[in-house]
Structure 1
Amino acid sequence: MAVLLGACSKSKDTPEVTGPTNPEGTGRSKYVFVYSGSAASGSAGTYIVSTDDITTGKVSSRNNGVETDAYSFVLQNNTIFAQAYNNLGPVTPYRIYEDGEIGIAGRTVTTFRTGVSGTVNQDTWVGGGDPRSSGVGELFRFDAVNMQVSGKSVTDMNKITGTGENAVWTGLFQVDNKLYMPYYKFKPAGAGAAPWQGNYGSLDTAWVAVFSYPEMKYEKTISDGRTGFIGNWGSMQGLKQIENGDSYVWATSGSINNIKSKNHSGILRIKKGTEAFDKDYFFDVEALTGFKIARGEYIANGKFLMTIYTSAETGDVSGGRVKVAIVDINSKTVTYVKDVPEHEQGSFKMHVYYEGDGKTISYVLEDDMKQYYVYIINAETATGKKGVHIEGADNVTAFSKLKY
């Protein structure tokens, strides 16, 4: 395993860093996208590209960006950690250098095939392996300052369910000093089958496994039968602790491999410090709108940006038509965002960047012409404005802002 040690370097090829990747207070930043380019556009491959302005214009790998072979990405400590989705799961860090160019920020570190991940505090992220076939849940703790794996754990996923089925986690989230990991139940088909082939347990309950941190040991499961399973494979969405310390979970209550949940799609609450679902709170979004939640990301002040399906068709990791809405968990209201078009739900998760001002959140979507754009959304007025065109994109897998 490559472990990064040493002092800072200006080299973009093999820099070595031991502290925060970039100093605070420089006043400079860029928006960063990770996307797969299309062969038709002449930019086949996966690229990390940046721009100063997302309100207009276009960004393209042809004149800006770095090619990478990674599949998924974690943004922590002002660094993009690019993960390859294979058995070694190598992780390569990238940052923006003083001249505004994207470059490698340290050596590649070997982990393992990573299906879920989540940030912890300001200096760490945790990755989880793929337990669907093996029933073995591996977790690793990644030190985002010193660029190294700093701890590991292994969990028997059968023991979490107690039914002989595997628990298959759909996300990893920090709640106070614990890790909360939603899951569904699954029994693999056997030798030679694909990881997703097998028998799914009941999809009519929301399950969350609670793990200690930093030990990453399984402690307990909390569950609620008023809605369905939380998130979907590889989504890393479905649970958020907000400003007052309460946590909210949202469930599509959709389907996996054409197996449907009978429960309504809605939002549950876990009050701060309780490690239990609040029996006095349930926001039945499906009863209010007539449709199910697809994805969600928190904005501020009790408001989420969510995509809501527009018909009974619900996707799994992707698929289904959606509209964008501001969902208020306090007033239990859903307000559709004006000037953001209905569109196909993207793969795995929604890609957003919240500006930290209490109202502005930008959202990446693929329109019906198969073109990717950013829409800048005002959560107070529920209005959106079309912004930068991500030219030549086949799929966008990350969106954030980095300082330099």
Structure 2
Amino acid sequence: MKKVKGSIFAMLFTGALAISCDKSDDNTPVVPIEKGQERYVIAAVPVEFSDTADYLLTAESLDSGSISTSGNGIEQDGYRYYLTVKNKFYSMLYGQGGPGAVTTYALNTNGKLQKTHDFVTETVQVIAEANGDIMLCKVPRSGQTEAQWFQVSTAANEIVNRGAIDIVELANNGERAHFTGFTMMGNKLIAPYMSIRGIAGGDVWGTAHANNSWAAVYDYPSMKLEKVITDDRTSYLGGYYLNGLERDEKGDAYGFSSANVKGDQDQLLTTKPSAIVKIDRNTVDFDKNYFFDLEQVSGGYYIVGFKYAGNGNFIARLIQDKAATNDEIKFAAINVYAKSFKWVTGLPNNLKDSGFATKGDYAPMDGKTVYVGINAAEGAFVYKFDAAAATATKGLKVEGGRITAISKVSAE
């Protein structure tokens, strides 16, 4: 792993419209609020536009009412991912290999999002909060063998450190490590990864190692590699642009594996079950005494994403058949401490994966609540999930749009 200090040269500040993601003003009515009051941020795609044109809308409540994309919100240019850290809302452009514009927003006392900073990074595949700052990582699928990481200060809104990781050396199996996410455990940055062949123009995502989980353990913020931890009871954790590892209040971390690795001919390569595993806070290693077989308790379903609510409770997305192309989604309430599993009731039938599951649901961390954007035939609604009761209740309606992400900020 190489490290380069004094990285201000790697970040370009600009106020130029060429990289600004504001294409239109927010025309929602001005409703003055006091400092500290909260508003929810809902990213939604207007139904008449392409899947890349999110609008950022604000709402006072997620439990009821309606908002519209028509004439409201701040339009985003290109496909974007979102992160809220220290009451700042970051909108990050996926630049298709080119520069990735990052725009920072704050909530003003007019109840609207206001752009505060613009800067540019590389297009990255890993975006994560890290002890109050942001860690980004550009992970090459083929060719280049070094993954570039960037530490962004949320106080300065600039890159303050950067480095490179040799992903072929890290994998140490003839393939390359492709990070799926970063999760902090104390002063350790845990970086789960999948092993991929990375053959340009050929078998990029294939692997000879479909039945293993790996995570690199780095000291933070030095990013010195301490060790690589492994497990052979399921497949890799998370997925492309999908962090599959969440830390709980005790300091342990729980990771999910879809165990759905497929080859060039769409054949299933994984023989292990979709499951949840645990990384112990004391050993910073996989807990060999903990294994939650989700395929067994769900009757053959596999997990494709989850959101932590607190107290060991998660809301999880699952799909039934690994061998099929059917993308119908079901939701389950899971408690990783009790290893309990319940299907969630109160949702529309025949839900399909909208493709936005990785962009962000919102959990207030009260031990049970998760807000999820559900785009169904009846329209787009925010549903309030109760992970303790395994129920979902219809809330805020988004008129004329499909919900892609939900977050919350407070007025400054």
Letter in 2 for 1:326: A
- Match of 1:109, SS state, is strand
Q: Is the 8 A contact 2:218 2:224 kept in 1?
A: yes
Identify which of 304, 311, 333 aligns with 1:326: 333
Partner of 2:77 in structure 1? 69
Q: 1:314 to 1:231 in 2, by over 3 A?
A: farther
Partner of 1:153 in structure 2? 163
Cα distance in 1 for partners of 2:346, 2:35 equals 35
Cα distance in 2 for partners of 1:208, 1:390 equals 39
Identify which of 251, 254, 258 aligns with 2:260: 254
Deviations 1:223-282 (A, max 9, x none): 11111111110112x111111121111111113453531100111112112121111111
Cα distance in 2 for partners of 1:384, 1:102 equals 29
Q: CA deviation at 1:44?
A: 7.9
Q: CA deviation at 1:40?
A: 5.8
Letter in 2 for 1:117: I
Cα distance in 1 for partners of 2:158, 2:236 equals 33
Q: Is the 8 A contact 1:115 1:127 kept in 2?
A: yes
Note the 1:2-401 alignment, pairs <5 A: 2=12, 26-39=35-48, 45-70=53-78, 71-86=80-95, 87-106=98-117, 108-121=118-131, 123-133=132-142, 134-190=144-200, 193=201, 197=204, 199-236=206-243, 238-256=244-262, 258-260=266-268, 261-290=270-299, 291-313=301-323, 320-342=327-349, 343-347=351-355, 349=358, 351-368=360-377, 371-394=379-402, 396=404, 398-401=405-408
Q: CA deviation at 1:112?
A: 0.3
Pairwise CA RMSD of aligned residues? 2.4
Given the two structures, how large is their TM-score scaled by the length of structure 1?
A: 0.86
Cα distance in 1 for partners of 2:373, 2:196 equals 32
Comparing 197-206 with 142-151, greater Cα deviation is found at 197-206
Cα distance in 1 for partners of 2:304, 2:198 equals 25
Cα distance in 2 for partners of 1:57, 1:137 equals 45
Letter in 2 for 1:141: Q
Cα distance in 2 for partners of 1:62, 1:276 equals 50
Length, aligned pairs only: 374
Q: 1:44 to 1:214 in 2, by over 3 A?
A: closer
Q: 1:344 to 1:39 in 2, by over 3 A?
A: same
Q: 1:116 to 1:186 in 2, by over 3 A?
A: same
Q: CA deviation at 1:27?
A: 4.2
Deviations 1:345-375 (A, max 9, x none): 2325263211232222211122245x32211
Q: CA deviation at 1:337?
A: 1.3
Q: Is the 8 A contact 1:143 1:150 kept in 2?
A: yes
Q: Is the 8 A contact 1:32 1:401 kept in 2?
A: yes
Cα distance in 2 for partners of 1:314, 1:399 equals 30
Q: 1:96 to 1:215 in 2, by over 3 A?
A: same
Q: Is the 8 A contact 1:3 1:147 kept in 2?
A: no
Q: CA deviation at 1:314?
A: 6.7
| Structure 1 gap segments, 5+ residues each | 5-11, 14-24
| Structure 2 gap segments, 5+ residues each | 1-10, 15-21, 24-33
Letter in 2 for 1:168: H
Given the two structures, how large is their TM-score scaled by the length of structure 2?
A: 0.84
- Match of 2:206, SS state, is strand
Q: CA deviation at 1:152?
A: 0.3
Deviations 1:147-185 (A, max 9, x none): 111110101100111122111111111111111111111
Q: 1:199 to 1:254 in 2, by over 3 A?
A: closer
Partner of 1:16 in structure 2? none
Q: CA deviation at 1:124?
A: 0.4
Q: 1:314 to 1:285 in 2, by over 3 A?
A: farther
Cα distance in 2 for partners of 1:138, 1:350 equals 22
